[in-house]
Structure 1
Amino acid sequence: MKWFFVSIFAFLAGHMVPGMFRRQLVARLGSTLYLFAFSIISIGLLVWVIGAELQADYIALWPYDPRAHWVPLVAMLPVCWLWVAAIRQPCPLSIGRARGYDRTHPGINRFTRHPLLLGVFIWGCAHLFPNGHLAALIFFGGSALFALLGMARMEKMRLRHLGADEFARLSAGTRRFDLAGLFNGGLDWRDVLGGIILYGAILALHPLVLGRDPLAF
């Protein structure tokens, strides 16, 4: 369990420290290089955490129930829609690009300003059901909590960077979470199709990358 906790600490530090010095790093590296470097570091740290979680001691917290596998199987399709929308559509107040945002057509921001983080939150919560052991609780539960707290943190960062007037202008017509917005222009057919493709890719790669087949239960 030692290296699992070390990887968790490194993952958190790898997200918090760059955020503390984001303005200075962007000024020195430029926004594109900063985002590229941050993404590569984040992916590398996430791979380390996942590998450490798979190797951690199994300390059971609740009994295993095969029916619980249906929870992530069902939940991951809307999660994939959110992740594709976060990549495709501008999200000026969260993780994602701001370029091209039209506040008269907020798109996914009408449903949630934080599609990527909301997806991570649902992903983490859903994967807790079939994984009732300590390392999974820390990994998936911690990821869900990290994403939930990250929504407020991202908005504070954007408020500090943009100023109150610009933040208010961009946030008009957006919501942290509003289910009605999902059926009012939040997603388009490309988000839906891309999400289905991503969902299929995750199902196919899951046993190859992680050694666990989501369909074998």
Structure 2
Amino acid sequence: MIYLILGLVIFLGVHSVEIFSPTFRSRTVARMGEGAYKGIYSVLSIIGFVLLVWGYGVARQDPILVYAPPAWTRHLAALVMLPVFPLLLAAYLPGRIKAAVKHPMLAAIKAWAFAHLLANGMLADLLLFGGFLIWAVADRISVKRRAVVRPVPGPPPMKYNDVIAVVGGLALYVIFAMWLHVRWIGVSPFPPM
């Protein structure tokens, strides 16, 4: 469990810098340069991610039950997951979805984490998905309160970006739910009845 916790602290910690200090990035980039900052940020993010993935896998081998969700919550989780991939794509394809949601990546993370908390009740699940949910809520609140320190680069809005986000996102949902989830995570989101 220690590797999962350490991974979460490092990964979410690196991604929380602007929550606690909105000017930290700009001050650090001015001092050490953008390339060095991005390099350190990337290395710490990768280390944190590897530790949390590995730690979650290790923790699942010796599970500690916190709560036992009823079987129907898996179906509810699958429903809550439907907008996740379209929202992820909308974060990179500016259009009406991105304008309406404002921060589709954070909305996707919140839906993903909440869906997995509905269907999983082990301590490792609570730490992983609960940690991401708390972080995403805190980051969304922080984004509302802080002034735009730097523009976020991205492609210009295009006529079909929303269609691409929805159709492509739903296709990714089907591919992930039907094939990749069981291959990469080892658990089928749709177990046999």
Q: Does 1:140 align with 2:145?
A: no
Identity in percent = 29
Q: Displacement, 1:201?
A: 3.1
How big is each residue's C-alpha offset from its partner over 1:182-215, in whole Å with a ceiling of 9 and x where there is no partner? xxx9x72111111112212322211121111212
One of 108, 114, 117 as aligned partner of 1:128: 117
2:5 counterpart letter in structure 1? F
1:61/1:134 contact within 8 Å kept:
yes
Write out aligned runs for 1:1-217 (5 A): 1-17=1-17, 20=21, 21-27=24-30, 28-29=33-34, 34=38, 38=41, 41-42=44-45, 45-56=48-59, 57-89=62-94, 107-157=96-146, 159=147, 161=149, 188-203=162-177, 204-217=179-192
Change beyond 3 A, Cα 1:48–1:72 = farther
Change beyond 3 A, Cα 1:205–1:136 = same
- What is the rounded CA distance, in whole Å, between the counterparts of 1:26 and 1:72 in structure 2? 40
TM-score normalised to structure 2 length:
0.76
How big is each residue's C-alpha offset from its partner over 1:24-63, in whole Å with a ceiling of 9 and x where there is no partner? 3444126xx83x8756753553343133122214111222
- Superposed CA RMSD: 2.9
Q: How many residues align?
A: 176
- What is the rounded CA distance, in whole Å, between the counterparts of 1:189 and 1:147 in structure 2? 26
Change beyond 3 A, Cα 1:115–1:68 = same
Structure 2 gap ranges (5+): 152-158
Change beyond 3 A, Cα 1:125–1:108 = same
Change beyond 3 A, Cα 1:40–1:215 = farther
TM-score normalised to structure 1 length:
0.68
2:4/2:56 contact within 8 Å kept:
yes
Structure 1 gap ranges (5+): 90-105, 167-184
- What is the rounded CA distance, in whole Å, between the counterparts of 1:192 and 1:126 in structure 2? 19
Change beyond 3 A, Cα 1:39–1:193 = farther
1:71/1:127 contact within 8 Å kept:
no
- What is the rounded CA distance, in whole Å, between the counterparts of 2:120 and 2:182 in structure 1? 16
How big is each residue's C-alpha offset from its partner over 1:104-149, in whole Å with a ceiling of 9 and x where there is no partner? xx62244221111011011111111221111111111121111011
2:6/2:51 contact within 8 Å kept:
no
